[in-house]
Amino acid sequence: MVRDRNAPSRNGVVARNLNKIRQNIQNRVEVQGPNNIENIHRTIHNTSGGNGHMWNLRYSAFDLIFWLHHSNEDSLFAVWEALDANYSVPRYSNTAQAFTMSANTATGGDTPLKPFHKDELGNFWTSNEIRDTHTFACTYPILQNLRNTDTLIRRVNSLYSPRQSIPAIRRTKRGAVTVAFGSGVQYTLSVKAQQASLKGSPSVFVLLGGVEETHRESGGEDWESDLHFVGQTSFIQQNVDMASSDDSPTVHSVVPLTAALEARHQFGELSSMVSASVYAYLKENVKWKIAKNGKALPGEESSGFEISVLWREIEPAMSLDEFPNPQSEEQVLM
């Protein structure tokens, strides 16, 4: 890391990069399954960081955008907690050493959150004690003054859902990508990786169709500008010592595909949304590249990733007061 007091701000670059993945992030609101806030968290880190501080968790908090990003993450968690008030913090064993605990430490909702003291006696806050933001005398506008005609689900959909009538980020011959679940099926590209095998913070870039000539030799850093770009998901390796762990956890992320498939069907590139047609189309057209630091990973470094396409039956939301409702377990399409 080089310290430069005269380093220019790159707000424009960050804004453009985030704008390229905006639709894909919005589509995640509709995804039912292995999708979570952490997927958004990692992707924003890598997208806004590029090869800079946000990409490296050892230094990311030195970048001012880190605090804006994590303030937003806090608000997303508060919304999720309000929507799922009966959740519980699961117990698990930490497979790698952290700053305040050794490896293989059992943790749960009552584990002290060091170094955050809650009093002058040396006691620490726990996850179960801070489930409500009012504990710290704060809240968020989206959670205030809710009523029967203005529910939290309606507010989430109004702000974030791709079903809203928002201007398309990028209109192409493939049209505005907004998801409707008209076929009653949800499609996602699933990406799994062993935490220990990451050795950095790679991103997986997903396209439907051929790669444009200008992007074929790139490391993936400009794939978001490709006409066929669908979305990306990212991974973060925080503790390099984890690479020696024999029981490294599996990290799971997804890239929504339904909206992109519906758009291609609308414009005649995909003949039908029935599973057989979707399977044939994806088998020929879905492509991905795993990149890190702006360079495509060689085969030996990307072999630890498990990539598949999943599908499940879904009941579409009929109003802004509903989320799509899964009707079956996820199954592997390919």
* Residue 181 confidence (pLDDT) above 70: no
3-state secondary structure of 324: coil
In residues, how long is the chain? 334
37 φ, ψ (degrees, to nearest 5) = -65, -30
Decide if 313 contacts 328 (C-beta within 8 A): yes
pLDDT for the residue 243: 43
pLDDT for the residue 168: 38
pLDDT for the residue 165: 43
* Residue 253 confidence (pLDDT) above 80: yes
Mapping DSSP onto H, E and C, the string for 229-285 reads EEEEEECCCCCHHHHHCCCCCEEEEEEECHHHHHHHHHCCCCCCCCHHHHHHHHHHH
Specify which of 39-43, 120-124, 287-291 reaches the highest per-range mean pLDDT.
120-124
Residue range 231-250: mean pLDDT, rounded = 64
Q: From CA 185, how far away is CA 262, in angstroms rounded?
A: 11
The reported pTM is: 0.81
pLDDT digits (tens, 9 = 90+) for 12-71: 878 888 888 887 888 787 776 666 788 888 888 888 866 567 777 778 888 888 999 999
> Looking at per-residue confidence, does 176 or 20 come out higher?
20
- Which position has the token pair 């529910």? 151
Q: Which of 112-121, 133-142, 159-168, 251-260 has the lowest mean pLDDT?
A: 159-168
pLDDT digits (tens, 9 = 90+) for 213-223: 445 555 555 67
* Residue 238 confidence (pLDDT) above 50: yes
> Looking at per-residue confidence, does 315 or 164 come out higher?
315
Q: Which of 118-132, 189-203, 272-286, 310-324 has the lowest mean pLDDT?
A: 189-203
pLDDT for the residue 74: 92
Specify which residues 307 forms β-bridges with.
191
Q: From CA 43, how far away is CA 188, in angstroms rounded?
A: 16
> Looking at per-residue confidence, does 242 or 53 come out higher?
53
How high is the mean pLDDT of the chain? 79
pLDDT digits (tens, 9 = 90+) for 140-167: 999 999 998 899 999 998 888 776 543 3
* Residue 172 confidence (pLDDT) above 50: no
CA-angle at 299, arms to 237 and 285, nearest 5°:
100
Nearest in space to 302 (alpha carbons), one of 286, 321, 289? 289
Quickly state the pLDDT bin for 237 (edges 50, 70, 90): low
Q: Which residues are within 8 A (CB) of 320 and not within 5 positions of it... i.e. 6 or more apart? A: 153, 154, 157, 158, 161
pLDDT for the residue 212: 53
